[in-house]
Chain A
Amino acid sequence: MKVDFDDSMVEKNKGQRQAVKIAIYVLLSFLVLVYIVPLLWIVMSAMKPNSQFKSAPWSLPTGMEFGNFIFAWTKGHLGNAMFNSFVVSTCTLLISLAVGSMAAFAIAKLRWKMSKLALTYFMIGMMIPIHCVLFSLYTQFARWGLTNSLLGLIIPYVAFSLPITIYIMAGFFESIPNELFEAAVIDGCSVPKLFFTVGLPLAKTGFMVTGLMSFVNNWNELLFAMVFISDDERKTLPVSLTKFVGPHSTNYTQMFAGIVIAVIPTIIVYCIFANQIVEGLTAGAVKG
């Protein structure tokens, strides 16, 4: 699907073209610096002792100092927290993908009058200010005995992931030509089978996009995780990180080390899925 202008378009002036091209690359590379330098700065600062950070925040670290990382990892129980975050994010991802893609399929491909309305209904979920529902949800979950457990966190996360999942997946299903379904129906396919054999394989890339979005959102979520979980053993990563931002703590470099540790898994997941994402979005955007 890549558009290759260089071969397909007639241009008059080759030299001018080259100059424009160089200008574009310079601009893009400059932007890369704008993106990468601040992120490298955290990594660099995390490798410094606190006193050096205070006196010379932009200097290079004197050596590869991993003391801050070790402190953050052991004292903050980040290993355990990372496991919890992983369980919560993965379960949420699987459930919201399963449930969300089914709903998206119903909205995009099944034929009923209120399908547009249903999509709008789910869209409202994106607009809900979470501070308003926090307490009533917590009270309700306490009644159901779901507080202080990872399950109690997964359920709201699934609900919050659904709108964007349904929205994007519906777009994907819509982009699949109806003829493909019709052919399958003529062959005697039932609707669930249609979903599994025709819909899902063609919307595979959509899973990548929504999956990554839902995973990183839930990996980074703080407010619900903080209110819903009390036990140290069940705290997720963002909550455990707040330990380093204590009332009287000024140890910034340890805090940076914690942040770096927390960010690494999302970067790994991102590197794995990044290229599929655009392909996914591209495929999703193509209309029959």
Chain B
Amino acid sequence: MDKLLRKKSNIILFLAPAFVIFSAVLIVPIITAFYYSLCDYKLNSAPTFVGLKNYITIFTDDPDMKIAFKNSIFFMIFSIISQLFFGLILAALLTNIKRGRDFFKNVYYLPCVLSSAALGLLWYFVFHPKYGVNKIMENLGMLENANEGTLWLSDTSGFIILPIIVISFVALWQYVGQSMMLYMAQISGISKDIYEAAAIDGCSRTQAFFRITLPLIKPMMATAMSLNAIGSLKFFDLIFSMIPEAMRGKGGKANVIATVIYDQGLRFNKYGYACAVGMVLLLMCLIVTFLINKFVKVESYE
């Protein structure tokens, strides 16, 4: 048995196709991108090696990156916490009801399968003062003139600006279903006997949630949090389709790391610099995933 499962030829046979496609399409270009990140690389030209220059600029001399780090890190922390919180609550509520569970669950998961570019356009109109929420408030008499209400997507006051907060909530709306599903799956997997035993010992349902459910779904928490962290650090689509161009372009207050990569690489043809920012992003993803798995996934349920 053991010998059969250890056979090298089998391992190679099963792993090779995925390994080849994955490496050729993603790993080779990312290694090239790492090399480009050490270069000045212009359109239609050969890259010239400049060492760590791009990285030094990123951390010391690029105001856009300062804003992007601030927004992306806020966005990541917000996503991790809010999705953990609301995902767990939804999962706990849904596993506790009988009737309509599938319906609710399917509705909450629905936005995950829709294109974020299309949803971004929808939310752009919802938060546009002329058409969206302000108009509703005007119709309800809460605002005299919709046009003079809050500028949800272009207000720039405060340390974390309003558009980023709005986007954070839209992202929560769109992706909380995913976290909910993951938690639900794990909760449903917990043996009923444990709860029964706890109930007999006089444990209330709330207590059961904190003392039994939470510890038992820790491994899934680590998984869901890692997925959230990676997704929110790489976040691009909603920002691109919701935020006015002036706010997410060069010098914009609503830039995130991915929009800087887009601008530098695809609009201003500075591939070397864009690749360096991309490498920083990749490294951040790795570090955050590592930390989450180290501190959240202390012990797994056996």
Contacts and interface: CB of A to CB of B under 8 A. Distances in A.
Interface of A: 1-6, 8-10, 21, 24-25, 27-28, 31-32, 34-36, 38-39, 41-42, 53-54, 57-58, 99-100, 102-103, 105-107, 109-112, 118, 121-129, 131-137, 140, 155-156, 158-160, 162-163, 166, 181-182, 185-186, 190-192, 195, 212, 216, 219-220, 222, 238, 241, 245, 252, 255, 259, 262-263, 266-267, 269-271, 274-275, 277-278, 281-282, 284-287
A160 B26 contact: yes
B95 interface: yes
Top 3 nearest A-B pairs (CB, nearest first) are: A281-B185, A220-B115, A132-B278
B265 A132 contact: yes
B22 A128 contact: no
B38 interface: no
B182 interface: yes
A9 B278 contact: no
Contacts of A220: 114-118
Given A2-B188, A158-B21, A222-B117, A21 B29 contact: no
Contacts of B33: 132-133, 136
B49 interface: no
B195 A285 contact: no
Given A57-B132, A106-B14, A259-B121, A274 B6 contact: no
B117 A99 contact: no
Given A3-B195, A111-B6, A282-B185, A35 B266 contact: no
Contact of B188 (A3, A39, A159, A182): A3
B10 A191 contact: yes
17 contacts: A41-B122, A42-B122, A106-B11, A110-B10, A118-B19, A129-B281, A132-B278, A133-B26, A158-B21, A166-B18, A238-B117, A259-B122, A274-B106, A274-B109, A278-B185, A281-B184, A285-B220
B18 A129 contact: no
A122 B17 CA distance: 13
Contacts of A110: 5-6, 10-11, 14
B113 A216 contact: yes
Contacts of B132: 57
A10 B1 contact: no
A233 to B, nearest CB: 22
Contacts of B115: 219-220, 222, 238, 262-263, 266
B14 A102 contact: yes
A131 B205 contact: no
Contact of A125 (B4, B22, B125, B266): B22
Given A102-B14, A124-B282, A166-B18, 5 more contacts: A28-B97, A102-B15, A102-B17, A185-B4, A282-B185
A278 B258 contact: no
Contact of B29 (A27, A35, A140): A140
A285 B4 contact: no
A287 B104 CA distance: 26
A219 to B, nearest CB: 8
Contacts of B118: 220, 241, 259, 262-263
Interface string B99-138: 0101011111111111111100111011000011001100
B46 interface: no
Given A28-B104, A35-B108, A100 B93 contact: no
Interface in B145-202: 173, 181-182, 184-190, 192, 195-196, 199-200
What range describes how many residues of B lie at the interface? 35 or more
A36 B122 CA distance: 13
B97 A24 contact: yes
Contacts of A129: 234, 257-258, 261, 278, 281-282
A4 B188 CA distance: 10
Nearest to B10: A191
B286 to A, nearest CB: 7
B297 to A, nearest CB: 13
A192 B13 contact: yes
Nearest to B99: A25
A58 B136 contact: yes
Given A9-B195, A110-B14, A285 B271 contact: no
Contacts of A112: 6, 8, 11
A57 B132 CA distance: 8
A130 B26 CA distance: 9
B274 A132 contact: yes
Nearest to A129: B278
Contacts of B30: 124, 128, 132-133
Contacts of A1: 188-189
B258 A159 contact: no
B69 interface: no
